[in-house]
Structure 1
């Protein structure tokens, strides 16, 4: 990777005097620019959606292939199957071994990455544009022709199991898994992406082959390419390497919609620790929701803005109760995401810190934020959002989100316009709508015998004790 950036820096210095200008949108007086890009969307005959983005800045080729599957499609009893399948894609194909794939991408000075989420398996390749054909050959090969060799499967399984065992000893991972299990109860989204030790151990090669055959289809994927090439050249290359990918009927089960949290529920996970790791929250909203931008500005004021946020000012700065305190919203694609607030505190101050957290949630619902708080939050997003489109990978992410979340073209421009126009009344409206102090879940990883939990509205019958 270092080698690639040396080459890129040289290219920038040599081409800066004749660089193409990218169309820009600017808010009057904001001093901030957000870019729009020359792009073209097409669908190949096999159903693969291709989005070509021309970016004449440096000689880079960035391709992101996103398959619409993930841990949410794991069969019951085979949790971790999607993740294990994804981990094997670049571990050998019909034409190349794992070491050959690694050596070829290393020769270019670039990167080839595969990961797994709940509803997507993203694959990406990043090289200099002179290696565009090799990059697309490798990317298409690992998604279309993986061999899933037994020795590689066992090696990946062993690494995943080791990671699962380590995570059981990490309080933050434990509380995060407990929180997700509670907030998405009854939905396939409740399970960890990596699966459980028992289920991962039960997965065999036939399971992996079947999962790949069912979900890894061109009509179930989107290819985003951002490159120092014309959109026509990009589409031609995409057709050359992905046109032979065979389309098949897509038989994907409908995922149950997560149900909103009703009432209050607390799960204490007993661990040998000297602090409490707390996660509080409930279901949130979809990324396409018209209130999304107002919600993220509201949350910046509540707990997403670091030391300028209310939660941090109250719990950490003024009271000195927590080592960390925060809140955030994770929006969903076709389902509601979630709101999570959390903190890390001494076991003896757990109740006081949690009550303070609830007080801040009640306050932002019932009292308007100040003009200064709103303007500071707006300024943060007006300054930070444009900086998320500087690298080729960041630009690719913009278009990936556009496709996966079903957002309209150049949505990032509209996002800034909406943020700029937000009012105090809108912030309080979304706080009342998307923060629910009466229906929530709390997960705490702590030493249970040392904890005396006294939280407003929580009674003993709402509390359940478990092990990691």
Structure 2
């Protein structure tokens, strides 16, 4: 799950379906389609059914509990965020945080991996764990009638994992096999090289899964140490959303998590993120008909007060699909790419600003020049009233789609707590966006975009792309 600033998945699907149309049709209808989408979004945003009424409390063991009762469907969604991430693992054992999470459902003191899988499938539920750059998330989805059984399973994999040696070997092989397969994907290779060049030795610069060598270096003792050190209630946020009362939630916590004890959390020294001093070009030669290009640099933290102005600016530059300047120039006007985007990924520490595009090898340098031109233009020229209005309408009107399922609400609550945005953030966000002015857009473009010092990654047939003599 990425940040609460990510473009929601529903409209991303719509945009990709639109992009599958013949480009000439898209060009003639893009203005009509854009207005239609914004109109639908605004209609959705007129109702307040998405507003969250949540309760927050800190339990005696330090666990932060967030609860929202929603009775429209007999479903309960649970998200447990643990502040355990790749930033907490030794670099020579990269992938440790991920391996711990992957192995949680693979055997406990009372259940084998097969038994856990069979029991959650029997009740038609879903139970799993995943790792982001800043945290680990354990999620549960069950019908209301099965919440007791589902929560019992969640508490078991949380409190009683045993990390069996045979499962460790199997999971390591699966991860290494997946990494090897990913090497055939030029987008994966480009993203890996981009983050490595931007972040250097910082944990954000390495793969969450680690590398084959670092994965092999992880022992069962390492897994137990990481689990015991960071999987503590005073290092966690629990959100429970759905057809369940606070009284029922309190009963579940007493029955299944009362033995989860607080403990000291180790302090981990993280190397600073280096600042770019000059343009860095990374090239990877592959026999490809399309050049995969990433261009960007360090971005902002999620806690940065300019986050909202940056969101509007990025929408206009390249985050707004057919409404963005990069799409209009590179796809619509020049016909040099099927898709082009820009994004600001925001994390606990500084995220990245990234422009991504695929184009034919021979057009690579032309496209790169246009990207730089558009970055300079949004820094030097005020955006139009129409661009500002459309960006703000989209960002505020689409916001309810981030909260249109119980699972999204559960995730949203944990992240707003994690980033310390406040329990009423769902009500405040639209106002933050509406306050952004044209002057704000130009100011943050000048402050957070750098058309001189950036990382450029090109995965292509380098000779045809003009990067090799």
- TM-score in terms of structure 2 length: 0.87
Do 1:32 and 1:383's aligned partners in 2 also have CA atoms closer than 8 Å? no
Q: Quote the residue 1:367 is aligned against.
A: 381
Q: Quote the residue 2:36 is aligned against.
A: none
Distance in 1 (CA, whole Å) between partners of 2:147 and 2:336 is 53
Do 1:45 and 1:243's aligned partners in 2 also have CA atoms closer than 8 Å? no
Question: Given the alignment of the two structures, is residue 44 of structure 1 paired with residue 52 of structure 2, yes or no?
Answer: no
2:179 partner SS: helix
Do 2:50 and 2:400's aligned partners in 1 also have CA atoms closer than 8 Å? yes
Do 2:292 and 2:458's aligned partners in 1 also have CA atoms closer than 8 Å? yes
Q: Quote the residue 2:315 is aligned against.
A: 300
> Map of 1:14-413 to 2, 5 A cutoff?
31-33=46-48, 35-333=50-348, 335-413=349-427
Cα 1:185–1:209, aligned 2, differ >3 Å: closer, same or farther?
same
Do 1:52 and 1:235's aligned partners in 2 also have CA atoms closer than 8 Å? no
Distance in 1 (CA, whole Å) between partners of 2:91 and 2:403 is 39
Do 2:288 and 2:461's aligned partners in 1 also have CA atoms closer than 8 Å? yes
Cα 1:38–1:412, aligned 2, differ >3 Å: closer, same or farther?
closer
Aligned residues: CA RMSD: 2.0
Distance in 1 (CA, whole Å) between partners of 2:223 and 2:293 is 36
Question: Given the alignment of the two structures, is residue 447 of structure 1 paired with residue 461 of structure 2, yes or no?
Answer: yes
Distance in 2 (CA, whole Å) between partners of 1:345 and 1:446 is 10
Higher mean Cα deviation, 208-217 or 148-157?
A: 208-217
Do 1:44 and 1:243's aligned partners in 2 also have CA atoms closer than 8 Å? no
Q: Quote the residue 1:17 is aligned against.
A: none
Distance in 1 (CA, whole Å) between partners of 2:44 and 2:308 is 21
Distance in 2 (CA, whole Å) between partners of 1:32 and 1:439 is 44
Distance in 2 (CA, whole Å) between partners of 1:30 and 1:202 is 51
1:72-124, CA deviations, whole angstroms, 9 ceiling, x for partnerless residues? 22212211111111111001111111111111111221211211122211000
Distance in 1 (CA, whole Å) between partners of 2:79 and 2:45 is 32
| Larger relative contact order (Cα-Cα within 8 Å, sequence gap ≥ 6) | 2
Higher mean Cα deviation, 37-46 or 161-170?
A: 37-46
1:371-400, CA deviations, whole angstroms, 9 ceiling, x for partnerless residues? 111111122122211121111011112211
- TM-score in terms of structure 1 length: 0.88
Cα 1:80–1:30, aligned 2, differ >3 Å: closer, same or farther?
closer
Unaligned segments of structure 2, at least 5 residues: 1-41
Q: How many aligned positions are there?
A: 429
Do 1:39 and 1:231's aligned partners in 2 also have CA atoms closer than 8 Å? no
Do 2:230 and 2:265's aligned partners in 1 also have CA atoms closer than 8 Å? yes
1:37 partner SS: coil
Q: Quote the residue 2:450 is aligned against.
A: 436
Higher mean Cα deviation, 255-264 or 194-203?
A: 255-264
Cα 1:441–1:374, aligned 2, differ >3 Å: closer, same or farther?
same
Higher mean Cα deviation, 191-200 or 212-221?
A: 212-221
Q: How far apart are residue 34 of structure 1 and its match? A: 6.3
2:131 partner SS: coil
Do 2:52 and 2:426's aligned partners in 1 also have CA atoms closer than 8 Å? no
Q: How far apart are residue 362 of structure 1 and its match? A: 0.6
Distance in 1 (CA, whole Å) between partners of 2:305 and 2:78 is 30
Q: Quote the residue 2:14 is aligned against.
A: none
1:98-156, CA deviations, whole angstroms, 9 ceiling, x for partnerless residues? 11111111122121121112221100001111111112111111111111111111111
Do 1:266 and 1:441's aligned partners in 2 also have CA atoms closer than 8 Å? yes
Do 2:363 and 2:465's aligned partners in 1 also have CA atoms closer than 8 Å? no
Unaligned segments of structure 1, at least 5 residues: 1-26, 455-459, 461-468
Q: How far apart are residue 423 of structure 1 and its match? A: 1.8
Cα 1:431–1:68, aligned 2, differ >3 Å: closer, same or farther?
same
1:86 partner SS: helix
